[in-house]
Amino acid sequence: MKKSVAILSLALLFVTIAFVNLTCASEYSLSNEETHTSPQGVSPQAMSKDPLVGTVAETMNSGGYTYILLQTKAKMFWVAIAESTVTVGEEVVLASGMEMIEFHSKSLDRTFDSIIFSEGMISQGGKAAPKPQKKTYGSSGAKPSTQKEIKVEKAGGGDAYTVSELFEKRKELDNKDIVLKGEVVKVTARIMNKNWLHIQDGTGSAQDGTNDMVVTTMDLPAVGDTVTIKGVLFSDKDFGSGYKYNAIVEFGQVSK
Between CA 64 and CA 239, with CA 78 as vertex, the angle to 5 degrees is 55
Q: Are both 45-128 and 160-255 of the same fold?
A: yes
Across 72-193, the runs of DSSP E, i.e. the strands, are 76-82, 91-94, 97-105, 110-118, 121-124, 127-128, 160-161, 176-191
Cβ-Cβ contacts under 8 Å for 252 (sequence gap 6 or more): 197, 215, 216, 217, 219, 229, 230, 231
* pLDDT value at 9 more than 60: no
Please write the tens of the pLDDT for every residue from 46-73: 444 678 889 999 999 988 889 999 998 8
Averaged pLDDT, 198-220 = 91
Mean pLDDT lowest for which of 66-75, 97-106, 186-195, 199-208? 186-195
* Closest among 120, 130, 135 to 242, alpha carbons compared: 135
Question: Domain segments of the chain: what residues?
Answer: 45-128, 160-255
In angstroms and rounded to an integer, the radius of gyration of the C-alpha atoms of the chain is 25
Cβ–Cβ under 8 Å, residues 70 and 88? no
- Classified by CATH at the fold level, domain 45-128 comes out as OB fold (Dihydrolipoamide Acetyltransferase, E2P) (2.40.50)
* pLDDT value at 224 more than 50: yes
Please write the tens of the pLDDT for every residue from 95-143: 888 888 888 888 889 999 989 888 788 877 665 555 544 444 444 444 5
The pLDDT, as a whole number, for residue 191 is 74
Name the average pLDDT for the chain. Answer: 76
Classify residue 80 as exposed, middle or buried by CB count within 10 Å of its CB (0-12, 13-18, 19+): buried
Residue 56 to residue 200: CA distance in whole angstroms? 37
The pLDDT, as a whole number, for residue 118 is 85
SS3 content of the chain, % helix, strand, coil (to 5): 20, 45, 40
* Closest among 219, 231, 216, 211 to 256, alpha carbons compared: 219
Please write the tens of the pLDDT for every residue from 130-148: 554 444 444 444 455 445 6
What is the pTM (predicted TM-score) of this model? 0.49
Residue 241 to residue 247: CA distance in whole angstroms? 17
Sheet arrangement for strand 110-118: 97-105, 110-118, 76-82, 65-71, 52-62, 91-94, 121-124, 127-128
Averaged pLDDT, 72-77 = 89
The pLDDT, as a whole number, for residue 98 is 82
Identify the architecture of domain 160-255 in CATH: Beta Barrel (2.40)
